[in-house]
Amino acid sequence: MGWMSVEVDGSILRNNLRAVKSLLSPGTAVAAVVKSGAYGHGMVEAARAFTEEGAEVLAVSMPNEGVELREAGFPQPIILLGGFFLEDAEVVVKQRLSPVVSCSEAIDALARAASRCGERLGVHLKVDTGMGRRGCGEDELRDLLDRISSHPELSLEGLLSHLSVADVDDEEAREYTQQQLIRFNSVVEMVKRAGFRPRWVHIANSAAIAWYPKSHHTLVRPGIVLYGGLKGFEEAKEAMRVASRLVEIRQVKKGSCISYGRTFVAPRDMLLGIVPVGYATGYLRGISNKGFMVVRGRRVPVVGTVCMDLTLLDLFQVPEAEIGDEVVLMGRQGEAGVSVFEIAEWLGTITYEVFCLLGNSVFAERRWIEPA
């Protein structure tokens, strides 16, 4: 075992995909978002689980991820949500990836590359309806459609936008999301009126899939829900379990200062457990004096400042603990557990970030399991 193990339960990911599919009408397909190492879960393995359960499309960020999926044998459409650097246009064409475009430079670069390769390529045009990130303005739409039509090598395969607050549960956010959906509907109408029939029309992320059924169109793009990290959606479960082991146990006297910055002073004689994980392995310093881990089926508090590669535990609850015992950072052990939602709360962040940090840690030894 390395410093830390990351175990992913493929059967849970499969169930999560099925839970998403059960919300969709028959005319809506799934683009499973497996970018960034499937949010730390392992891109190729997760893509296999999702496609075997019926995801018709995959979505990644940049071309290198698409190439990795092609080399692993995935024939499905692969959408490049993040885009591509112009010099990589030929890779996009040769690997039959589906780029998201929202500017004339990208469209022209793809057309030139397709022409050089003697190929045709479908592109997805992205419109900004209020996310304020990638996407053309609604006033640029007509020009970009004309631009795509002017290149015989290109066709409009998809039309998309992205929501910024679909996961926020308050009235203002719901109103904003409704406005984005209305704007997107009018974009879809305009594109149709202009004579285009894109096969894939998509705006719904996980939260919209769960709570805005009218957002589904012909394709949805679930990410976080597939990994069990969408708050309030109990049908999907967490599949990632992160563990390490006690590397040392020591007694310290009442009044001893514990770790950097002396942020914790022992209130009594204490038994400290030492775990070789820390912010270098994705267990961030913000967890200092806030978090819990699980040892011998009981939750024990993190005490003192989390270091680069060492974290300290108060073993008061488990005096029988021994060096080498498994310590669970996230996931379950016996009756006890720590959820991704708790860790996100300790850090004042979102579940996405916790999965990415721990799951993609270069120090993790990865294991994929598929219990029957």
Ligand X SMILES: Cc1ncc(COP(=O)(O)O)c(C=O)c1O
- Which positions touch ligand X (CB under 6 A)? 33, 81, 162, 205-206, 221-225
User: Nearer Cβ to ligand X, position 205 or 215?
Assistant: 205
Please state, as a whole number, how many other Cβ atoms lie within 10 Å of the Cβ of residue 167.
21
User: Nearer Cβ to ligand X, position 48 or 134?
Assistant: 134
Smallest gap from Cβ 205 to ligand X, in A, equals 4
Of the residues 212, 260, 290, 352, which is catalytic? Answer: 260
DSSP code string of 27-92: T-EEEEE-HHHHHHT-HHHHHHHHHHTT--EEEESSHHHHHHHHHTT--S-EEESS---GGGHHHH
35 is catalytic: yes
Quote the tokens at residue 124. 């997805």
Q: Cα–Cα–Cα angle for 250, 251, 252, nearest 5°?
A: 120
User: Nearer Cβ to ligand X, position 32 or 111?
Assistant: 32
Measure CA of the first residue to CA of the last residue in the chain; give whole Å.
25
54 phi/psi in degrees, rounded to 5 = 110, 10
User: Nearer Cβ to ligand X, position 134 or 245?
Assistant: 134
Give the DSSP H or E segment for 9.
strand 4-9
- Report the amino acid identity of residue 312: L
Residues 6+ apart with CB under 8 A from 261: 305
In this structure, are strands 121-126 and 154-160 parallel, antiparallel, or unpaired?
parallel
Smallest gap from Cβ 323 to ligand X, in A, equals 39
Smallest gap from Cβ 265 to ligand X, in A, equals 41
- Report the amino acid identity of residue 48: R
Smallest gap from Cβ 221 to ligand X, in A, equals 4
Smallest gap from Cβ 33 to ligand X, in A, equals 4
283 is catalytic: no
The catalytic residue positions are 35, 260
